[in-house]
Amino acid sequence: MSEPQLFDLNIEEVLEHWEIEHGIRELIANALDEQLLTSTADVEINEGAEAVCRVRDFGRGLSIEHFTLSENVEKLQAPEGVIGKFGVGLKDALATFYRRGVGVTIISAHGTFRLREAHKHNFEGITTLHVERSPGIDGMAGTEVLLDGVDQEDVAKAKALFLRFSGEQIIERTAYGEVLRKGPWDARVYISGVLASEEKNFLFSYNITSLTEG
């Protein structure tokens, strides 16, 4: 069996204010985008036994290239509804999980990925966060992420950040987005289906899907 490969995440700035639910939010966003882009089955989000959360999509499968920080041309050119477009969320999520003591295993046909600290290449005195890649599951559709060390409250907080899971109903569609019948909480403003702010004085919630220069 070959030795696992190491890929340096080159994370220079850690988002100290991010909690576990923010990391889960990024995983859900990536899975929802992949579902939209590939027209595959609904994303599965399960809280299993012993504080393990599972996020599963059925798209093309995550590969080592997805751990680089770059603008995602495919998502920039994608139809309305795509959430993430700049390739920053995954690395930030992984750094947050590692800092908060959450174990991460990502499985696809392209590899099995875990986190570990290792010496930076050619700099033995510097230790950074790496992705360790070992063989994946041949023929597997999509990506499965297992998080060890989260609880149901973390998952519930993450899902609450998405319009898809809020239960708020669309009243009207406009050129800029959707007007929503708000739930039993303050009105919300979503951007591409992700919660951006809450407004006490609004009668309706809104989902902004077209951001224009002003």
pLDDT in tens, 101-139: 999 999 999 999 999 988 887 677 788 889 999 999 999
Distance CA 60, CA 37 (A): 10
Closest CA to 44 of 65, 27, 20: 27
Pairing of strands 177-181, 5-8: unpaired
- Do 30 and 72 meet the contact criterion of CB atoms below 8 Å apart? no
Which residues have CB under 8 Å from 102's CB, separation 6+? 20, 23, 147, 148, 149, 150
Distance CA 142, CA 140 (A): 6
Q: Indicate the CATH number of 5-159 among 3.30.200, 1.20.1050, 3.30.565, 3.30.390.
A: 3.30.565
CB atoms within 10 A of CB 145: 25
Which residues have CB under 8 Å from 92's CB, separation 6+? 15, 18, 22, 23, 26
Distance CA 4, CA 133 (A): 5
Per-residue model confidence as pLDDT tens digits over 12-56: 667 888 999 999 999 999 999 999 999 999 999 987 667 789 999
Averaged pLDDT, 54-74: 82
- Do 145 and 136 meet the contact criterion of CB atoms below 8 Å apart? no
Instruction: Give yes or no for residue 87 having a pLDDT over 60.
Output: no
Q: Considering the chain, what is the average pLDDT of its residues?
A: 87
Instruction: Give yes or no for residue 210 having a pLDDT over 70.
Output: yes
- Do 158 and 21 meet the contact criterion of CB atoms below 8 Å apart? yes
Distance CA 109, CA 130 (A): 20
Q: Domain residue spans in the chain?
A: 5-159, 163-208
How far lies 173's CA from each of 79, 105, 115, 170, 207, in Å?
A: 16, 39, 43, 7, 9
Q: What is the pTM of this model?
A: 0.85
How far lies 180's CA from each of 52, 165, 171, 198, in Å?
A: 33, 13, 5, 13
Share of the chain above pLDDT 90, in %: 62
